[in-house]
Amino acid sequence: MHQFKHILYVADPLVARPWALERAWTLARSAQARLTLIGVAQPVPAGGGLTQEQIDRAIRNDYSTRLDAQLAYFDPQHEVEPKIVFGRLHIEVIREVLRGDYDLVIKAAEGEGSFRERLFGSRDMHLLRKCPCPVWLLKSGGANPYSRILAAVDVTPDLDTEEDIGAVNRAILLRASALALTEFAELHVAHVWEAPAAGMLRLWDAGVQAQDTVAAEYRYVEEMRTRHAHSLKTLLNDLREIIGDEAFDYLKLSSHLPRGAAAELIPALAAELAVDLIVMGTLGRSGIPGLLIGNTAETILGRCDCDVLAIKPPSFVTPVTLDGS
């Protein structure tokens, strides 16, 4: 079963969020993983008789003191490494990921808008789009531990041969099942499918009697449902083989196979089930590596009202570099 080994928590030294830090610290301790805190400060130009080095040192000392105060409530036996860097938050976080070989970034969701109508702010979305490792965004007041986790997978039969999609599906299930077992949570696995040719058969077969067209359309939709159901069952069987029968049977796993548009049905299912966390993949279809996640993923994230753990495909390459922007 997947275990995180090196976790990066994005801290705000000026605004303590103990509920988010506790989630990161608890996960690191249970997984016996290294935990690093990163605080990103805005550069302040030299002036008032102070050199740039003096100003940077003063900010670094102030931020370090604040981070130490946030960590004071946790067990000192589990070592946590704090780091202070200067620059734009999402860029410096990603650079730290590239330098430190992290396998998870945890951050409190910022929200934006006059009434915080969106759970994720612009810096959150930058991380979701460009960070090469999984990003776990936490909402204020979220459940701890989780009661229900929703894993959203894409097992569309026509895409089975795409290596990235298969790898992302497996990663989603491994991380979701590991968290469900750790938190004693229900695990719901959902795949939203479509029958794209439904409703068009009568246009193709204008000379066929109406009842025959309806019957053909019904058979087509049922065939599509059966194919998607088989693909989902195969994926779940693969999960059983990986984690073992005992762990799989212990999972409170329910599968869902709704028909329609994923951008609408995943948020609706999450709301209906009152899930605490959605684990989902972000697959860019733009042809511009690292710049965009898929439109469906963007829409789902815009409608989320729970924590999100987003997984990147293995081929993803971030546009952020260590020596550029």
Dump pLDDT digits (tens) for 14-64: 888 999 999 999 888 888 889 999 999 988 888 777 888 889 999 999 999
Polymer length in residues for the chain: 325
Q: What is the pLDDT of residue 199?
A: 65
Is residue 129 domain-resident? no
One domain for residues 183 and 269: yes
Which tens digits make up the pLDDT trace of 98-108? 999 899 999 99
Instruction: Kindly state whether residues 219 and 272 are assigned to the same domain.
Output: yes
Residue 150 pLDDT more than 90?
yes
Run of H or E residues at 281: strand 277-281
Token duo for residue 309: 């753990």
Between the alpha carbon of residue 128 and those of residues 122, 168, 311, the distances in Å are: 10, 15, 9
Instruction: Give Cβ neighbours of residue 195 (< 8 Å, ≥ 6 apart).
Output: 220, 221, 224, 225, 259
Q: Are residues 308 and 166 in the same domain?
A: yes
Contact 88, 97 (CB under 8 A): no
154 lies in the same domain as 11: no
Res. 321: pLDDT tops 60: yes
For residues 321 and 247, membership in a common domain is answered with: yes
Greater confidence (64 vs 111) lies with: 64
**Predicted pLDDT at 284:** 52
Residue 290: predicted pLDDT = 37
Nearest CA among 104, 93, 99, 132 for reference residue 33: 104
Q: What is the CATH classification number for the domain harbouring 301? A: 3.40.50.620
Residue 122: inside a domain? no
State how far the alpha carbon of 249 is from the alpha carbons of 145, 147, 155, 187, 276, in Å. 21, 18, 22, 12, 22
The pLDDT, as a whole number, for residue 287 is 39
Does residue 287 fall inside a structural domain? yes
**Is the domain of 232 the same as that of 301?**
yes
Task: Quickly count: other Cβ atoms within 10 Å of residue 7's Cβ.
Answer: 23
Q: Note whether residue 194 is domain-resident.
A: yes
Domain count, the chain: 2
* Spatial distance between the Cα atoms of 66 and 138, rounded to a whole number of angstroms: 21
Whether residue 176 sits in one domain with residue 74: no
Using a pLDDT cut of 70, give the percent of the chain over it.
85
Nearest to 196 by CA among 218, 176, 224, 227: 224
Distance from first CA to last CA of the chain, Å, rounded? 36
Task: Give the C-alpha separation, 83 to 37, whole Å.
Answer: 6
- Eight-class DSSP state of 43: P
Of 57, 83, 108, which one is at a domain's C-terminal end?
Answer: 108
116-130, 170-184, 198-212, 288-302: segment of lowest average pLDDT: 198-212
57 lies in the same domain as 180 = no
What string of DSSP letters covers 11-35? E-TTS--HHHHHHHHHHHHHHT-EE
Least confident of 43-47, 77-81, 227-231, 304-308: 77-81
Which domain does 183 fall in, by range?
Answer: 146-325
Average pLDDT, the chain: 85
pLDDT of residue 164: 78
The model carries a pTM of 0.88
- Of 88, 168, 97, the C-alpha closest to 126 is 88
Q: Give residue 288's pLDDT.
A: 37
Q: What does the DSSP 8-state code read for residue 47?
A: B
Asked whether residue 278 is domain-assigned, the answer is: yes
Query: Does a structural domain hold residue 134?
Result: no
Residues 193, 304 within the same domain: yes
pLDDT over 50 at 4, yes or no:
yes
